[in-house]
Chains A and B, each alone.
Chain A
Amino acid sequence: MINKSYKLVTLAAFALAAFMFSFSDRTGQAISPGAVSAVAQQNQPRHPEAKSDSGNLVVQLCDGKTSMEIDGVREGEVLTPEKAREVAAKMMAAVAAEQSRQTSKWTERDRLTWEREQKRVIEEGDKLFHDWKALGGTIGISCDMCHPNASNTHAETYPKFQTQIKKVVSIREMINWCIENPMEGKPLPLDDPRLIAVEAYMAAQRKGVPLDPGKH
C-alpha cells in the first residue's frame, strides 16, 4: 500500500540565495579559455540539497523550489516504478497549481522599463545634487559642495537618529534639513519627485553596501 502522506517544502529562498551567490562570486580575474567552462559550471546556480530530519527520501524538482518528502521510503532507497510515477505526478500537479495562482510574470520589457526609469531618476538626482536653484536654494550653495559625489551621506544608515533634528528621520528629512541650512531654501514635501530623485542618486552611490540603519 502506498503511503499517501507527504510534505511539500518550498525552498525558493535558498535557490535565490544560491543565485545571488553565483553573481557575487565573480572575481573578474583573467582566466584561460579552457578554464572558463569549469569555472562557469562551478558558479552555476545550484539547487540546495534537500534532506529530511527523519531520514526519509526527499525528491526535488528541476525548478529548485518544489520538493517532496516520501514517507516510508528511506534515503538511499530506490522508489518502485509505481511509487515514482505517483510522486512525479503529484509534484507536477503542485507546480501547475502554483502556476495557475500566479498572475502576470515579470517580462524582459518590465526589466527594460525598470532599468531605464531607475537610471533616469538617478541622473535627475545627480543634476539636482549640483543645482541649488532647482532644489530651491537661495544663496548659491549646492549639495555637491559639501558632499562631492554624495560622499559622507551614507544612504544605507537611514532611518537613523539624526543629531541635528534629535529624532529618527528618513534620509529625505535630512535632505530637507540641508535645503534649509545651509542652502537657505524651503523644505520640500516628502513625496516631492525632486527629493526622491536626490535620494535615488545618493543611494546609487552606496549600491551594494549592506543596510546598517542607525549607524553613526
Chain B
Amino acid sequence: MKTRFQKLKIFLIAVSLGSMILALAHDGSAVGQKFKPDLPPAIPADLWELLIPKDNPMTEAKVALGRDLYFDKRLSVDDTVSCATCHDPKTAFAQPTSVAEGVGGKKGARNSPTVLNAMFNVEQFWDGRAKSLEEQAKGPLINPIEMAMPSHEAVVAKVKKIPEYAKRFQAVFARPVNIDDLARAIAAFERTQLSGDSAFDRFNAGDRGALSEEAQRGFELFKGKGRCVTCHEFNASSPFFTDFKYHNIGIGMKASGNFEQLARQVQQMAQAGKLDADALDKLSLTEGFSELGRFLVTRQPKDVGAFKTPTLRDIELTAPYMHDGSMKTLRETIEFYNKGGEGNPNLDGGIRKLDLTEQEISDIEAYLKSLTSERVRRLTQGSSQFSVFSFQSSAVRKYSSVFQE
C-alpha cells in the first residue's frame, strides 16, 4: 500500500506534467523555462509583463539565444557588424558616433538610439516606422549600409549553416530557423535590457540624499520653467522620460534641402506603390529624406521634421544627441531648447524660449546626469559581460549559469 507521502508525490508529478503540457499547448513557440526578469526598481512589473507580445513569450533559452544573436557579427554580410556594433552595452547600448556606421564604415543618417527600455516604446526607430522590437530587428539586417545581407532568406540560410544555432532554434521554437523567430529571439533579449536604478530613482523612492542640491533644483526646473516634462514624460506609471510621440524642434531643418520637394517625391513614391517597408527603411537613412522624419511614415504635412522623443535615462552615456547626433554635449542641447529650438514652419507648439539662466542650465544638466543607471554605468566601465543581465551581484551568479553554453 502506498503511503500518503507517495500519493502526494504522484499527485504533484501529475500536476506538474499536466501544467507543462498545457503551457506547451498554449503556444508552440514557448518551449522551456519561463524567463523571470530581474527588474530595476523604477520599472513597473505589471507593465513589463503587459508589453511582452503574446506570440513571443519570454523563456530563458530564448533570451540566451537572442543574446548570442545580438552579439554575433556573422549576421552581417562580411562578418563585421552585429546589433551590438551600433547598440553597444559599453556605450549604454548606443554608439558614440554622430550617425550609425555599418559594414565597411558606411554611414547612415541617424544617431543610434539606445536599446535600454526600448521595449516600452510604442513604435521603434526615430520615425516609428517599426511597430515592435521584432519588426525593428529585421530592418538593419538587410539595409545595405548597416548589416547589408542581400535578403532575409540569405540571413536564414547563413544561420542555418551554423549547427549550434540550428540546434538551439529547434530547441527554443520547435521548428527550423526562420527570420521571424530570429527577430523574436533578439527582441526577447532586448526586453531584458532595462534601465531604472539611477540616483534619481533612489531620490524618487524617498532617499533625499541621493541627489545633490543642484540636481534637485534641476528636477524642479525640469518639471516647471524648463517645460522638459511635457515631452520627456515621467511618472510612476510611465517612468521613461518620453511621451513616445513625434515633435519637430527644428533639428535638421536648417540643413540645405528643399523639404517640400522631398515630401512631394515621397508622396509620389507612395502613390505609385513604391514605398514598402524595405524602401522606407532605405529612405529613412538617406541624407535629405531622412530629415523628413515622421512624415516618411504618416505622410501627413504636420509630421515633416518630427522625430520621436527619446528617453533621457542614461543620457550622460549616450552622446552625441538629437536624431542626427549633431550635438556633442548635454549643455549644448539644453541651450538649444533655451533659445526656443530652430524656427521653421512646422515647429512644435510646445517649443518656446525658456529664459533659463546659466545656473539653471547647469542645474538641469546635473539633474540629467542623475538619470544614469548604476548597472549600465558598471557595464560601460567594462565589468563582466554577464552583468549585462543583472542589477545586483547575486543576480550575476543567477544568470551566469544560464548563459554559459
Chain A residues close to B by CB (< 8 Å): 99-104, 107, 109, 112-113, 116-117, 120
Closest chain-A Cβ to B132's Cβ sits at a distance in Å of 14
Measured as residues with beta carbon below 8 angstroms from the partner, the interface class of chain B is: 10 to 19
Q: Which of A99, A107, A120 contacts B237 (CB 8 A)?
A: A120
Between-chain CB contacts (< 8 Å), 25 pairs: A99-B300, A100-B300, A100-B301, A100-B302, A103-B247, A103-B348, A103-B350, A104-B243, A104-B247, A107-B122, A107-B244, A109-B122, A109-B238, A112-B237, A113-B235, A113-B238, A116-B44, A116-B47, A116-B236, A116-B237, A116-B238, A117-B235, A117-B238, A120-B236, A120-B237
Q: In whole angstroms, what is the CA distance A74 to B350 when docked?
A: 45
Q: CB distance B300 to A117 under 8 Å?
A: no
Summarize B's interface: helix, strand, loop or mixed: loop
Q: Cα distance A117–B236 when bound, in Å? A: 7
Residues of A within 8 A of B238 (CB): 109, 113, 116-117
Tell me if B378 counts as interface (CB < 8 A to partner A).
no
Closest Cβ of chain B to A203, distance in Å, is 19
| A109 vs B238: C-alpha distance when bound (angstroms) | 9
| B209 lies within 8 A of chain A by Cβ | no
Cβ A104 vs Cβ B245 within 8 A: yes
The 3 closest A-B pairs by CB, nearest first: A116-B237, A104-B245, A113-B238
Say how far A38's CB is from chain B's closest CB, in angstroms: 33
B246 in the interface (beta carbon within 8 A): yes
**A117 and B237 contact, CB distance less than 8 A:** yes
The distance from the CB of B348 to the nearest CB of chain A, in whole angstroms, is 7
Q: Inside 8 A of A120's CB, which chain B residues have their CB?
A: 236-237
Q: Say yes or no for B349: interface residue by CB 8 A criterion.
A: yes
Give A116's nearest chain B residue, CB to CB: B237
CA distance A107 to B44 in the complex (A): 20
Known: A104-B246, A107-B244. 13 other contacts (CB 8 A): A100-B302, A102-B302, A103-B247, A103-B302, A103-B349, A107-B245, A109-B238, A116-B47, A116-B236, A116-B238, A117-B236, A117-B238, A120-B237
In the complex with contacts A104-B245, A104-B246, A99-B235 CB distance below 8 A: no
Q: Give bound CA distance, A120 to B236, whole Å.
A: 9
Report the minimal beta-carbon distance from A113 to chain B, rounded to whole angstroms.
4
* Beta-carbon contacts under 8 Å, B344-363 to A: 348-350
Bound-state Cα–Cα, A27 to B151, Å:
56
Give the residues in chain B near A117, CB-CB below 8 Å. Answer: 235-238
